Structure 1
């Protein structure tokens, strides 16, 4: 027997998965209030990054184009505040293939700006260039036509006599031809 102490095996194995927590979008629910003040909660929040970007872009676009569509007093204020917040709240329920719309648009942009044939080992993959092959084909003139003076005439090989037995495969045909060619 050995003098080493035996180690006890723990029968309770615990497995943890943090994948779901890593997929959760980063949300913003409050704005820091400053020193000594509590944070201010954003109405209707928390908002994802996509919702905040949409809210900011629509708010800036509506304020910049107010001269075009505005001029109705209190209705303008309702439009400037209501449309961006309504779009941000609607984006909470919009998912493209189960993904955030901003990440889906980012993936589409990467696809459109990436290499045409994809990547291999983090480098743009380029298909190999086609190689040009040179082949020469010589056709025999039809029987009864005079030979052309520009094309040198080469004699055709003598026809091989047919085997007396029917040939079942290509290999048998090659063997029969080889046996007929030998003297």
Structure 2
């Protein structure tokens, strides 16, 4: 290897990640629209809960309500499947952002928050300056 040749490093981590999914059947098949990641399932369940809580505001006891209860969670789950933040799922990206926000400003050293040491003040009797030969 010559000195001018650039160093090249490869990472195969992304190819080796297998997300935990719901909806893969043992025979190799899958459920309708699936398989779903845990993030998608969480968003869909959360959307159903929000729709149910807000039902008195928007629901009018028609067949359209059932369509909304199906289409909105499914649509949000589909959007979450396609959303990527720096190659990560939204839930993991959010967890990383919260970790960064909660981290100490100067970082950590051996698991503890690192603090700048207090400056040592020089006292007049602590040192002597001598003029040496020139």
- TM-score when normalising by structure 2: 0.70
Structure 2 unaligned segments of length 5 or more: list them. Answer: 1-10, 125-132
Which residues of 2 match residues 11-90 of structure 1 at below 5 A?
19-20=13-14, 22-30=16-24, 42-90=31-79
Cα separation, partners in 2 of 1:119 and 1:101, compared to 1, 3 Å: same
Match of 1:7?
A: none
Q: Distance in 2 between matches of 1:130 and 1:73?
A: 73
Q: Distance in 1 between matches of 2:19 and 2:69?
A: 27
Q: Any idea what the Cα deviations from partners look like across 1:37-80, whole Å, max 9, x if unmatched?
A: x9xx5421001111111111111111111112211511111111
Q: CA deviation at 1:109?
A: 0.8
Q: CA deviation at 1:133?
A: 5.9
Q: Distance in 1 between matches of 2:74 and 2:42?
A: 11
The structure having more radius of gyration, on CA atoms, is: 1
- TM-score when normalising by structure 1: 0.53
Measured on the aligned residues, the alpha-carbon RMSD in Å equals: 3.1
